[in-house]
Copies of this chain bind each other. A is one copy, B any other.
Amino acid sequence: MSSALHPLDSATALEPAGEGQWRGRTEPRYGNMVGPFGGAIAAKLLKAPLLHPARLGHPVAFTVNFAGPLADGEFLVAARAARTNRSTQHWVIELTQAGETVATATAVFAVRRESWSSTEAVFPLVPPASSIPRSPPLERHAWTGCYDMRFVKGAPNFGSKVPADDSETIMWMRDEPPRPLDFVSLTAIADAFIPGRLFLRRPRWTPFATVSMTTYFHADEAMLAAHGSRELLGVARAQQIRNGYHDQSAELWTPEGALLAATYQTCYFKE
């Protein structure tokens, strides 16, 4: 894990540790208040089938469930192809540390073909990233320094303590330093929306964690390659906050208005 690696490649570096199993190590630059940033953990899990010699195609759906804290240090990721069809492949993935499950995941990979296509979601009217100053990283959330974030709407409001009218965040975001977009970085950035939807509506601190996250990849390799290392537009909102949990649905767009991914999560909070 040389210093020449991009921090995300360091955070998601895996070395073989037996059939269908890899060993990794947490990367302090992606640290969060307790353990690493969830997006980096998600990316570690997706990396295993991406590295697997039996891999078919690329991810179309990926779900990760955060089961417990990941301590600084080594961990194992195991990936099993539960079923391989002609054009799709189903993976069951698990991240463990000291014999305990830290995260579970499933992924569907596929070989895609061109087809009739149509985008119904609407790319919002927003000022370009270059016209908005970069938001400073958050204290005690080291990982936020690994992203260039520029807020159009719904920026962190802890300081002002003024509740936002709704839970929507619209933000430009990219890896910092810039890194060509791939399925690994797209998976991580899908969890990079700040602040939590709850906090926009109720800007005071409470223990909070993403519990489960699902990403549907609309982009294929060619779209990601064409995007390169430029910024994405992220749009996220909650539909409902209720009894200790809330959902989040979000889209990740290119600046030209191509929808790369739709991503969903449910978050736990303690009152």
Chain A residues within 8 Å of B, Cβ to Cβ:
60-61, 63, 65, 67-68, 82-83, 85, 88, 90, 92, 94, 100-102, 104-106, 108, 110, 112-121, 166-167, 201-202, 211-212, 214, 216, 218, 220, 237-245, 247, 249, 251, 259, 262, 264, 266, 268-269, 271
Contacts and interface: CB of A to CB of B under 8 A. Distances in A.
Nearest to A105: B106
Nearest to A64: B106
Nearest to A214: B214
A55 to B, nearest CB: 16
A49 B105 CA distance: 17
Nearest to A113: B244
A239 B251 contact: yes
A42 B92 CA distance: 17
A106 B106 contact: yes
Contact of A90 (B88, B92, B101, B112): B101
Given A106-B106, A239-B262, 11 more contacts: A83-B102, A88-B268, A115-B271, A120-B166, A120-B239, A121-B239, A121-B240, A212-B214, A214-B214, A249-B249, A249-B264
